[in-house]
A and B are shown apart, each in its own frame.
Chain A
Amino acid sequence: MRINKLLIILIACFCLSLTVNTKAEEGKWEGVDSKVVEKYAKMYGRTPKEPLINTDQGDLLLFIFTLFGSAGGFVMGYNYRKIFKEQKNSDCTRT
């Protein structure tokens, strides 16, 4: 229980630390892949091309991320229940 409490405090500190003004204000939380990978690729003359299906338009990408994130969460929850809960119940009925 103590570990759980400690974990909650750590997560809360992490969330709070995001609100603190850091040098990130200048970089606007740029993704490290674009900051590093694309930076070096450009340095060596390679620029990223548009993806086959370009969903990076306005809020479309946000919608796609929410949709896939929710779907992923649902799949995780469904299978978690199947493995850890239903199996437990069937074990109980068998005994």
Chain B
Amino acid sequence: MKKRVNVPLLIITAFLFTSKDAFAMHISEGILPPTEAILTAILALPFVVIGLYSIYRLKKNNPLFVPLIGLIGAAVFVISAFPIPVPIAGTCSHPAGTGLAAIVLGPFVSTVVACISLLIQALFMAHGGLTTLGANTLTMGVAGSFFGYLFYKFCRKLNLSIFISAFVAGFVADIVTYAATAVILAFALSPDFLPAIKEISIAFVPTQIPLGLLEGVITGYAVKYIHIHKPELMEFGKSMISLNNLSCEKNF
């Protein structure tokens, strides 16, 4: 009997064996001055509120939505807490996972998923911080999700395949997360905004480019897998704000 290899599970297992000790991730506690910390939290709040409202509406009529958000939420949490070694740069970094979440759940729900993951990491894993939760939600949740989602939609409009579109979304989500981190750090810390952005962004490049490609591959395979085995699940991410009640009988 021919045995099929489960590619997504294989990649996750490989990650489990290649991950090393944890290192500080995201913007650490206390790095942002109080004004900027509050400002970023205020900016991230509307996205989280709309995302929560979307979840409330969607879970009412769709029996598969709760397990789906559980699956994708756990995936984002695990992926964003994985320090992956990048041999060519000699450093470790983590992917974001928000590109995948945005394609499947929509960008607002993906922001909520990222926010919850970041909160758990800040509380129990000494990663990120409570004062920088707003900034980290803005970078990983909002920027990663929305850019990944928009690029996925754009690629689909160009008639590119599901895998390629999701690959681009995953790559963009990862790169934009760190670009947004550079913007926030430059805005909050440096008096010279543009030179600081350039300097910080360039410092991220050697690690994040290979990692972005890896995240693109993971996103590509994961989305392709869902599309083949459960295409109806892709309905949730079709509209940006998933407030429409997708009918249980119609879709499932």
A92 within 8 A of B: no
A76 and B78: CB pair below 8 A?
yes
B46 within 8 A of A: no
> Inside 8 A of B102's CB, which chain A residues have their CB?
none
A46 CB contact (under 8 Å) in B7, B73, B125, B189: B189
> Inside 8 A of B20's CB, which chain A residues have their CB?
29
> Inside 8 A of A53's CB, which chain B residues have their CB?
123-124, 126
> Inside 8 A of A35's CB, which chain B residues have their CB?
91, 203
Contacts across chains A and B counted by CB atoms under 8 Å: 193
> Inside 8 A of B87's CB, which chain A residues have their CB?
17-18, 20, 22, 24
Encode contact with B along A26-47: 1 for CB under 8 Å, 0 otherwise.
1101111111111111001111
A7 and B64: CB pair below 8 A?
no
> Inside 8 A of B74's CB, which chain A residues have their CB?
72-73, 75-76, 79
B230 within 8 A of A: yes
A32 and B92: CB pair below 8 A?
yes
B77 and A37: CB pair below 8 A?
no
Stretch from B23-31, B154-162, B241-249 forming part of the interface with A: B23-31
> Inside 8 A of B33's CB, which chain A residues have their CB?
46
Residue of B whose beta carbon sits closest to that of A59: B21
Encode contact with A along B11-27: 1 for CB under 8 Å, 0 otherwise.
11010111011111111
A79 CB contact (under 8 Å) in B31, B70, B196: B70
With contacts A20-B87, A32-B204, A40-B200 taken as known, whether A47 is within 8 angstroms of B78 at the C-beta atoms is no
A4 within 8 A of B: yes
> Inside 8 A of A39's CB, which chain B residues have their CB?
203
The CA of A80 and the CA of B252, in the complex, are separated in Å by 16
Encode contact with A along B113-151: 1 for CB under 8 Å, 0 otherwise.
000000010111110011000000000000000000000
Write the nearest CB–CB distance from A39 to chain B, whole angstroms: 8
The CA of A33 and the CA of B203, in the complex, are separated in Å by 10
> Inside 8 A of B23's CB, which chain A residues have their CB?
29-31, 33-34
With contacts A11-B11, A24-B91, A38-B24 taken as known, whether A49 is within 8 angstroms of B18 at the C-beta atoms is no
> Inside 8 A of B11's CB, which chain A residues have their CB?
7, 11
The CA of A49 and the CA of B32, in the complex, are separated in Å by 10
> Inside 8 A of A69's CB, which chain B residues have their CB?
16, 78, 81
Write the nearest CB–CB distance from B154 to chain A, whole angstroms: 26
The CA of A30 and the CA of B93, in the complex, are separated in Å by 9
The CA of A47 and the CA of B28, in the complex, are separated in Å by 9
Write the nearest CB–CB distance from A5 to chain B, whole angstroms: 8
The CA of A23 and the CA of B77, in the complex, are separated in Å by 30
A84 and B204: CB pair below 8 A?
no
CB interface residues, A 72-93, toward B, < 8 Å: 72-73, 75-76, 78-80, 82-84, 87
> Inside 8 A of B126's CB, which chain A residues have their CB?
51, 53-56, 61
Write the nearest CB–CB distance from A95 to chain B, whole angstroms: 14
Interface CB pairs A-B, < 8 A, 28: A8-B10, A22-B90, A29-B20, A29-B85, A30-B91, A30-B92, A31-B25, A32-B89, A33-B93, A35-B203, A36-B200, A37-B28, A37-B185, A38-B24, A38-B31, A44-B189, A46-B33, A49-B29, A51-B129, A55-B125, A61-B125, A64-B125, A65-B125, A73-B74, A76-B12, A83-B230, A87-B64, A87-B252
